[in-house]
Each structure stands twice: as C-alpha cells, then as structure tokens.
Amino acid sequence: MDFIEGLPKSAGYSVIFVVVDRLSKSAHFIPLKHPFTAASVAATFIREVVRLHVDEYLSRRYQVLKELRGHLLRAQQLMKAQADGKHCDVEYMVGDRVYLKLRPYRQVTVGHKRNEKLAPRFYGPFEVVERIGKVAYKLGLLVTAAIHPVFHVSELKKAVGDQPVSVDIPRELATGVETMLLPEKVL
C-alpha cells in the first residue's frame, strides 16, 4: 500500500492510492482527493478492494451450494429408485398361513447365548385371523404367548406348501416361563 502524491488535479483527484492485492495478485490504483484521513482511506479500501473479494467469495459459495444441491438431489433420486425397486405390495387373506419374524429380547450384559446367529429368524406358520388397516394383520398365536398378536406386514412371510403347524415361539415371549438371572459373583 502506497500513495503517489504531487500529481496535477484530474477531476478533483490529486493522489493515487496504490494497493497490491496478495489474494488476487493484482495492483489497484485508486484516485483520492488530497486532504484524506485514515478513515476515508479505510472506507475507500473497503469500497474498492475488499468488495471484489466479497463478490468472489459469494459467487464461489453460490457455485458450491448449487453443486451440493445437485449432488443431494441425485442421491435422493437414487435412494428413492432403490427403495421403490425393493418395495412390493404384499397382501394376505384371512386364513392364509404366514411365518412371523421375531427378535426376542435378550439382555447380553447378563446372559449371553453361544450361537445367536443360529437362532431362528422366523417362527410359525401362524394363521391370519384378521386384517387391520392396510399394513397390519392379527395372527392366531397361542394363548400362552405374551406378545401382542397384531404385526406389520414387513414382519410376515407367506408360508408356501402344506407344512404342519408348528406354533413354537421363543420361550422368552411365552407367559409362565421365567428366566432366573443370578449374578456370577457378588463384589
């Protein structure tokens, strides 16, 4: 930053304010009128030099935001297409037999089964007793079952063929069966 003084007046200006911009690597030559103060030089600097960087910053920011919106829209479209591809409308009639997907509550901190991965994922088949709404079905579970008999369609899988009805449900979900949990040692 420097001042060139002692020039003849041109349109009332007699000083050239020279600023070498490190960011844009360019020089700015700004005319000033001679009795100038630090406040007027600072205002001129902001008006002539800083605004160029603000405009660049805002335009770059706008470009980045526009690009991000495009990527977000593309990702949403891909996720929607994938979800639509996997979605299928499944309907069951009263009397159909279905398998029920259950994940019995297990407290890993107290008792840990050896082969949790080998536990059955579906139980049944159970008979559909009633359709409740568009996506819920009431199943004919055993009386001893301690779970609610209404399930979402995503938890059901149609039983194909004539299998014997096996109504075994996990013992954790049956009434009358209590698991006695005892600590290994008292500290």
Q: Which DSSP string do the residues of 74-101 spell out, in sequence order?
A: HHHHHHHHHHHHH-------TT-EEEEE
Predicted local distance difference test score (pLDDT) of residue 131: 93
Token pair of 4 as six digits: 């060139």
pTM: 0.46
Please tell me which residue, 67 or 113, carries the higher pLDDT value.
67
Query: In 10 A of CB 103, how many CB atoms?
Result: 9
**pLDDT at residue number 111:** 44
Q: How far is CA 171 from CA 27, 88, 106, in A?
A: 82, 32, 11
Q: Which of 6-15, 144-153, 167-176 has the highest mean pLDDT?
A: 6-15
Domain positions in the chain are 2-86, 97-107+114-173
What is the model's pLDDT at position 109?
40
CB atoms within 10 A of CB 128: 20
Local confidence band at 172 (pLDDT 50, 70, 90 cut-offs)? low
Examine the pLDDT at 174 and tell me if it is beyond 70: no
- Tokens 């509550």: give the residue: 105
Cα(21)–Cα(2) distance, integer angstroms: 12
The dihedral region occupied by 132, where left means phi > 0, alpha psi between -120 and 50, and beta the remainder, is beta
